[in-house]
Structure 1
Amino acid sequence: MTSLHTDIPTHAQVTRLLTTRAPVAVSLYVQTRPDGSGDAERIELKNLAGTAVGQLRDGDAERGAVASVEEQLADLAEDDEFWRYQARSLAVFVTPEALTTFRLPNQLSRSVEVSDRFHVKPLLRSMTFTQAAFVLELTQGSVRLLEIVPELRPAEVSVPDMPSDVASAVGKSSIADRAPIRRLQGSEGQKVRMRQFARQVDQALRPILAGQDVPLILAAVEPMVSIFRSVCSYPHLTPTTISAGSGDTELIADARRVLDETHTEQLRGAWALFEQRTSQGRTATDIADIARYATAGAVDTLFVDIDATISGFVDEQTGAVEFRETGDAADYGVLDEISRRVWLTGGRIFAVRREDVPGGGETAAILRFAPGA
């Protein structure tokens, strides 16, 4: 499969990050350019690493742990091969024992956080609204799968066992072959062959799409649209279809329009549910209240501003919040901790910009039940 140099975290990887505890845990977010040389990004990483190491030393972290973190970040900065391939943001998570990176298609704000746990909230943006998509261009005479992300050229994905066209898929020299198919002839027989072709395409795609949760956008015309939709097993096929055969430029523009529409519809639906639940007494916008509800497993959906940082502590048992005016190496992000508890209790998280949070604050929540019910 052709890589577009993004590493979208899986659900299991996010869970691992959210549950990591260490005496020293550093989280860095670096803005990157897919078409850049990587030199400016390396300098930025070194600057953020220097800030993190300074905070660790000021916080009296164990000397050997600080040295290990510093060494791992320096090694990453000097890895020429790694910096050749970037997306729009780079997330780096490091403890004295290990370093993990994710190259993300979202443009995230630069930041450095030092604590006993990772600052994962910005990373959740890539899980909320994916910027990547697959486009399946499907006609009677050809088929191809493209992978797209912002600001990068689309890449054609190699799919083993993919049939090349309808005729070859059903062992005929032409789809217009008039030999009967179980006594079906003419246009009805052609549709049977197209369905056989579509089923083979779906089967070939399964190993490629297994475990993915990015949208699959179909580029086709009728009757192929209806036929493929009737056999498609991938759960993230978008309801909107785009035109096939219009050229790559228009195809990709149409696909990105579908992605934007999908994101808008997801957020619109969540806002509508928030308004409905507000009338039922099942929403909250106060951070301290939401922390308690999250600790009790009562939050169904959380909206959280990805750029907001609020330092403090959240009690493990009660969810009571102790706010701090300024953060230090002993503090952690309260919003991160709320997000962690919602994630681990099966809640949905919308990591969005502040203007997309109901009420215009740092966070808002839809509750599973009314308080006191």
Structure 2
Amino acid sequence: MNTTTPAQNSLLIDYLKKHEGMEGAHLTCTLACEGGGKNYSTHRKRFLNLLKDLEKDKAVLEAYPESLQTVVELCRSLATDGERWSGDYEGVCIHVSEQGENLINLRRPPIEFTRVEDRFYYRPAAGALAARREMLALSLSFKQPELYIFDGESAEVFGEIDLPESVYAFSEEGALDASQHAHIRRSRDTGTPQTVNQGFSPTQSPRELNEPIFLRELSHALRDLKESQELPLLVVGDENIVGEFVKVYDHPFGEIDTEMGMQSHPKASDIARICSDLCAEKQRQEMLEIKKELKQAEAGRMESFSDNVKEIYEAAEQGRVASCAVASDENAWCRFDEKKGFQSADPEKDSDAVEALDWIFVKTWLNGGKAIAIPSKDIPGVKKVAALYRW
């Protein structure tokens, strides 16, 4: 698979904007799910058992007397929706509030926990959310090409475009057809008038002669589409036709990604899987770039580098963090007192305690930076957080 410039993480930012600041109980639950959708009944039972324990938690009941029951009911509804639990994954991160529920599939098993607080925890789903990208996907063949739109999770046929139906459709519309270049001339040998062809080789079929027109018309249709200005494009199909298409088509949004060797007319689910894998690879490349930048900055002792939780927390609030890595397997609980400033806190005893690493992750993205969540052993200096400042 050929990969190019990463798309914007607009879906991740939209997700954070939508859910930050909502009132009421917010449940975050992470589960390791061996076998993914194949073992849905087992995962469902575990989730329902966690809900039973939650309903007996006096502290949670006292903190959210009005909204907790709504959240639990939504959780039960989610647990019984087998379609939502289908697919290939090794874990899930579940976010449920009064406003609705979200089940996020994870490619690797997460550290398990269940918490109900005033906000969600996003670090367990950081990679999955960052890999959600919108894109166009062209299933390319010489007969009935289809354009799909991928929303980060599923793909469906994009109905607002007229693509040429077939390479054969141009034979009656002025395409390079053998009959159009035939004329009468006299044979030197017999003097008998004969019909002969010029500009047409017997080894070339009408389809081969129509291919350039087919690809040109396909390019025009795509280039005129508003979404082509805004979304990346993946072209899926046989190596020969995909190779010819990318020679003649310049995508307005940028370079084109390709997936060759595919059979003709794949299902929407196949397109979604290919898009999802491509997005995950782009997210992986972004993560490697951020890790590389941070390690180089630490090694070079750059002034713009920091691994201090308090400093980075405040910088993220101010929008000064360009990129950062936060530990996915550690916590840094704190509270911010107007007189004493940033202090460590015990979440079991302090209702105002904030998990600083998750907050850094959210604020960095919302203020125009990039953040990743990785094991602490992979963070420069084996710290809980590392960041590069804009100034």
* Alignment TM-score, normalising by the size of structure 1: 0.70
Q: How does 1:144-163 map to 2 (within 5 A)?
A: 144=146, 157-160=156-159, 161-163=162-164
SS in 2 for 1:36: helix
From 363, 366, 379, the equivalent of 1:344 is 366
Does structure 1 conserve the Cα–Cα contact (< 8 Å) formed by 2:321 and 2:387?
yes
Task: Provide the C-alpha distance between the structure 2 equivalents of 1:302 and 1:166, rounded to a whole number of angstroms.
Answer: 50
- Aligned twin of 1:366: 388
From 267, 277, 285, the equivalent of 1:265 is 285
User: Do residues 287 (structure 1) and 306 (structure 2) align?
Assistant: no
- Aligned twin of 1:226: 247
Paired residues, number: 343
Does structure 2 conserve the Cα–Cα contact (< 8 Å) formed by 1:49 and 1:70?
yes
Deviates more, 1:134-143 or 1:343-352: 134-143
Q: Deviations over 1:302-345 (max 9, x none)?
A: 21233433333346x79953223564682342211112222221
Q: Deviations over 1:197-227 (max 9, x none)?
A: 22324557x66x89867x7355454332221
Quick one: structure 1 residues 355 and 129, their matched pair in 2 at CA, closer, same or farther if it must change by over 3 Å?
farther
- The offset of 1:284, in angstroms, is 1.3
The one-letter code matched in structure 2 to 1:26 is L
From 228, 234, 247, the equivalent of 1:216 is 234
The one-letter code matched in structure 1 to 2:72 is E
Task: Provide the C-alpha distance between the structure 2 equivalents of 1:189 and 1:58, rounded to a whole number of angstroms.
Answer: 69
Quick one: structure 1 residues 140 and 338, their matched pair in 2 at CA, closer, same or farther if it must change by over 3 Å?
same
SS in 2 for 1:39: helix
The one-letter code matched in structure 2 to 1:76 is L
- Aligned twin of 1:5: none
Quick one: structure 1 residues 310 and 298, their matched pair in 2 at CA, closer, same or farther if it must change by over 3 Å?
same
Identical aligned pairs, as a percentage? 15
Task: Provide the C-alpha distance between the structure 2 equivalents of 1:105 and 1:176, rounded to a whole number of angstroms.
Answer: 53
Quick one: structure 1 residues 165 and 281, their matched pair in 2 at CA, closer, same or farther if it must change by over 3 Å?
farther
- Aligned twin of 2:126: 124
Quick one: structure 1 residues 66 and 210, their matched pair in 2 at CA, closer, same or farther if it must change by over 3 Å?
farther
User: Do residues 306 (structure 1) and 305 (structure 2) align?
Assistant: no
Does structure 2 conserve the Cα–Cα contact (< 8 Å) formed by 1:282 and 1:368?
yes
Q: Deviations over 1:3-40 (max 9, x none)?
A: xxxxx955323212123343x32212234555326321
The one-letter code matched in structure 1 to 2:252 is S
- The offset of 1:143, in angstroms, is 2.8
- The offset of 1:282, in angstroms, is 1.0
The one-letter code matched in structure 2 to 1:291 is Y
Instruction: Give the RMSD, CA atoms, in angstroms.
Output: 4.5
Task: Provide the C-alpha distance between the structure 2 equivalents of 1:102 and 1:159, rounded to a whole number of angstroms.
Answer: 25
SS in 2 for 1:223: helix
Quick one: structure 1 residues 178 and 223, their matched pair in 2 at CA, closer, same or farther if it must change by over 3 Å?
farther
Q: How does 1:77-92 map to 2 (within 5 A)?
A: 77=79, 79-80=80-81, 85=86, 88=89, 89-92=91-94
Task: Provide the C-alpha distance between the structure 2 equivalents of 1:334 and 1:202, rounded to a whole number of angstroms.
Answer: 45
Quick one: structure 1 residues 53 and 359, their matched pair in 2 at CA, closer, same or farther if it must change by over 3 Å?
farther
SS in 1 for 2:387: strand
Quick one: structure 1 residues 261 and 75, their matched pair in 2 at CA, closer, same or farther if it must change by over 3 Å?
closer
Quick one: structure 1 residues 119 and 327, their matched pair in 2 at CA, closer, same or farther if it must change by over 3 Å?
farther
- Aligned twin of 2:4: none
Task: Provide the C-alpha distance between the structure 1 equivalents of 2:36 and 2:224, rounded to a whole number of angstroms.
Answer: 33
Q: How does 1:97-176 map to 2 (within 5 A)?
A: 97-109=98-110, 110-130=112-132, 136-141=138-143, 143-144=145-146, 157-160=156-159, 161-168=162-169, 172=173
Q: Deviations over 1:116-143 (max 9, x none)?
A: 2221222332233359987534244553
Quick one: structure 1 residues 61 and 157, their matched pair in 2 at CA, closer, same or farther if it must change by over 3 Å?
closer
- Aligned twin of 2:41: 39
Task: Provide the C-alpha distance between the structure 2 equivalents of 1:265 and 1:128, rounded to a whole number of angstroms.
Answer: 12
Task: Provide the C-alpha distance between the structure 1 equivalents of 2:158 and 2:121, rounded to a whole number of angstroms.
Answer: 37
Does structure 1 conserve the Cα–Cα contact (< 8 Å) formed by 2:322 and 2:370?
yes
Which residues of structure 2 form unaligned runs of 5+? 1-9, 182-198, 201-207
SS in 2 for 1:225: helix
From 218, 228, 244, the equivalent of 1:197 is 218
Does structure 2 conserve the Cα–Cα contact (< 8 Å) formed by 1:133 and 1:217?
no
From 344, 348, 370, the equivalent of 1:323 is 344
Task: Provide the C-alpha distance between the structure 2 equivalents of 1:13 and 1:268, rounded to a whole number of angstroms.
Answer: 23
The one-letter code matched in structure 1 to 2:373 is A
- The offset of 1:368, in angstroms, is 0.3
